[in-house]
Structures are given as C-alpha cells and as structure tokens.
Structure 1
Amino acid sequence: MIDHAHDLACVRDATERLLNAVAALDNASLPEPSRLPGWTRGHVLAHLARNADALRNVLDGRPMYASAAARDADIDSGAPRDLDAHLADLRESAARFQAAGEAPADWSRTVELRNGVTDSASRVPFRRWVEVELHHVDLGTGYELEDLPEEFLERETDFLAARFSGSPDVPATRLTDGTHAWSTGRAADAPEVTVAGTPAELVGWLAGRRDGTALKVTGGALPKLPPL
C-alpha cells in the first residue's frame, strides 16, 4: 500500500540533498550542459521548481500546467537565473509542495496529471520523489544512480515496469536485479527476453538515463523502450 506521508518525508530528504549539491555550484556552472539533451543545469533546476508547483496544483485540484507551451516557456525563462535565484526558487517551491501534501485530504481520490494521465493522489508524492532524485543525477554534479536509495530504486523499477506493461512495442520481458523480478511489455505466456542487472542499471535503462549495455540480456535483443 502506498504511504503518502512516508513518501513526503522521502521527498523532503531528497530535496535537502539536492539543495546542498546545488549550493556547492557557482554561477559559471549553471549554463553548462546537463545530462539531458538540450538542457543546461539551469534548465533542470528551473524545471524542478516548476514541477513542484505543478504537482501542488494537482493536489489542489487545478490543472498541472496552463499548457505545454507555458510549461516550456517557464523553464526557458527561468534557466538563465543566477545561483541564488535558483536556490530560493527551489526552496520556496518545495515548501509549497510539502505544505500542500501535509494538508488534510482524501488521498484515495483520483487526480489528473499531464496529457490526460490520471493517478491516485497518494502516488503524487512518489512522483515528486522521482523528479527530485533523477534530475539530481541529471545535473551531473557527482550524484549518480548508484547513490539513489535502495527503496527508491526498487519502487522506480516497479513503477516503470508497470508503465511499459502491455505496450505493444515492447516484447514480453522479465526484469531482475538478482533479488527481485518484474514482468513488463506485451502479454505472453512466458517472457521472451530476460534483462538482468544492478538496481541502478535497471533504473538507468528504464528511465532513459543509460543505454543498457551494462545489462545482461538473454532470449533476444535488449528491448527498445518508448520515450517516457
């Protein structure tokens, strides 16, 4: 069962790690490329702040973003700011999200995210945790997938395996980190492909952060995953 209060605490801890890492940067490092194609570190930080506000909107029953164009414009306009402005925005937007998450609410209700996607309100804190952890890695400041909490890696693998489950473009696939196993892709009597690797490598491949060359694949080629 999803524990939204536990996940909110994990978001708080992950945000503190992020803020400490960002505080160690300088203005000259912000326009440098992040690990996300076409985005500087400033773009990643601007996105993280606006995502906190967007998920607060979701919890409050408002549209996540005014529009896709507005979302992109806010990221582009916020990216060139100096370090102090980014840090203040990250702190303040994180505090607003936490306040929304701590308000009395029906956590079993269904909420709407982007592009018509719906989910349980109780999963929104985990979605924010994903944003903070993966984009911290995307900054390329020394925080790697291997540094992510064990619980996070297991749950993110579970979440992404479920996301690709039933996809006609992904062959029936068994995932394993040697301790846990998941099934994803097209329905089949038995998985056609087995993909094995460390928790960090599995998440890296599933989340589009690594190419999967460090994974062991049997029963066929490494499946090509749809974009997230």
Structure 2
Amino acid sequence: MIDHARDLESVQLATERLLAAVGELDNAAVTDQSRLPGWTRGHVLAHLARNADALVNVLEGRPMYASAGDRDADIERGAPRPLDVQLADLRASADRFRAAGAAPADWSRTVELRNGVTDSASRVPFRRWVEVELHHVDLGIGYELEDLPEEFKEREIDFLAERFGGHKDVPSTELRTEDGRIRTTGGGAEGGPVAVEGTAADLLGWLAGRRDGSGLVVKGGPLPSLPPL
C-alpha cells in the first residue's frame, strides 16, 4: 500500500542528500557534462527544480507543464546559472513541493501528469523521490545506484516492471534479484521467456536506462531492448 506521508519524508531526506552533495561543487563543475546525453549538470539541476514545481501543479490541479516547449525552454534557461543560484532554486522549489504535500487533500484522487498519463495523487511523492534519487546519480558526483536506499531500489524495480508489463516491444521477461525475489515484465513481443538476474542496482540501472545490462546474467535469449522512459 502506498504511504504518501512516508514517501514525502523520503523525498525530503533524498533532497537533503542532494543539496549537501551539490553544495560541494563549484561553478565550473556545474557546467560539466552529466551522465545524461546532451545535458550538463546544470541542466539536471534546473530540471529537478522545475520538476518540483511541475508536481506542485499536479497536486493543485493544474497542468504539469504549460507545454513541452516551455518545459524544455525553462531547463535550457536555467542550466547555465551559477552554483549559488542553482542551490537556492533547488531549495525553494523543494520547499514549495513539501508545502503542497503537507496541505490537506484527498490523496486517493486521480491526477494528470504529462502526455495524458494519470495516476493516484498518493503516488506523486514517490514519483518525486524517483526524480531526486536517479538524477542525483545522473550528476556523476559520487552517488551511485548502489548507494540508493534499499527500499527505493526495490520499489523502483517494481514500478518499472509494471510499466513495461505487456509492452508490445518487450518479450516475456523474468527479473531476479540476488535475494531470490522474482518479478515479471514484458510479454507483448514474441520470444522469451527470458530470465534476467543481477543485483538490485544492476537491474534498476538497466530498467531505468542508466546501465547497459552488462553486469546481468541473461538466460533464454538475448537481453531485451527496453523502450525509453
């Protein structure tokens, strides 16, 4: 069962880790390439700030972004800012998200995200947690998938396995972590079943497009190609 209040606390802890780590950078490091193609660390930081505001919009019943073009323009505009401005924006946007999460609300209601995607309001805090944790890794500043909280790794694997379940381009695939836990995904494409086994970090990295899957053990066919998130 989703516990939005607990997830809001997890978002806050993840945000504090992120702010502490980013605070150790300098202006030159902000302009360096991140692990995301075509994005500097400044792009990642600007995206994180604007995503917090976008999820405030979602919780308050407004469109997540005015348009895809506006979203992209905001990120480009924010990317070259110096470190102190980036940090101030991250803190302020995180505070706005925390305030929106603390407001009395019906957390069972359905909300609309990007591209017509809908979800329960109770899942929005977890979606923000995902943004903060994975983009912290994307910065390439010493925080790796192995450092992610264990609960987060397990839940994000669950979330992504569900997301790719029945996908027309993914054959039936069984995911196994080292602790023996098994999940299934795919099933909409010919082939399989394929068994993919590895650490939670390696499985999450592959599912989330952060690793190529070379650390995984694959049986029953080639490692499936996953669609972009």
- TM-score range for the pair, normalised by the shorter chain length: over 0.9
**Ranges in structure 1 where 5+ consecutive residues have no aligned partner:** none
**Ranges in structure 2 where 5+ consecutive residues have no aligned partner:** none
Contact 1:174–1:191 under 8 Å retained in 2: no
Contact 2:166–2:185 under 8 Å retained in 1: yes
Letter in 1 for 2:117: V
Quote the residue 2:211 is aligned against. 210
Letter in 2 for 1:167: H
Consecutive aligned runs of 4 or more in structure 1 exceeding 3 Å deviation: none
Give the superposition deviation at 1:181. Answer: 1.2
1:52-110 C-alpha deviation (Å, 9 max, x unpaired): 00001000000000000000000000000000000000000000001000111000000
Letter in 1 for 2:162: A
- 1:36-75 pair list within 5 angstroms: 36-75=36-75
The total of aligned residue pairs comes to 227
Q: Output the aligned Cα RMSD.
A: 1.1
Contact 1:165–1:184 under 8 Å retained in 2: yes
Q: Distance in 2 between matches of 1:196 and 1:60?
A: 41
Give the superposition deviation at 1:186. Answer: 1.1
Contact 1:108–1:120 under 8 Å retained in 2: yes
Quote the residue 1:103 is aligned against. 103
Quote the residue 1:5 is aligned against. 5
Q: Distance in 1 between matches of 2:107 and 2:95?
A: 19
Contact 2:111–2:120 under 8 Å retained in 1: yes
- 1:83-94 pair list within 5 angstroms: 83-94=83-94
Contact 1:174–1:193 under 8 Å retained in 2: yes
Quote the residue 1:24 is aligned against. 24
Letter in 2 for 1:31: T
Which secondary structure does the structure 2 equivalent of 1:29 belong to?
A: helix
TM-score normalised over the length of structure 2: 0.98
Letter in 1 for 2:175: L
TM-score normalised over the length of structure 1: 0.98
Query: Alignment identity in percent?
Result: 74
Which secondary structure does the structure 1 equivalent of 2:171 belong to?
A: coil
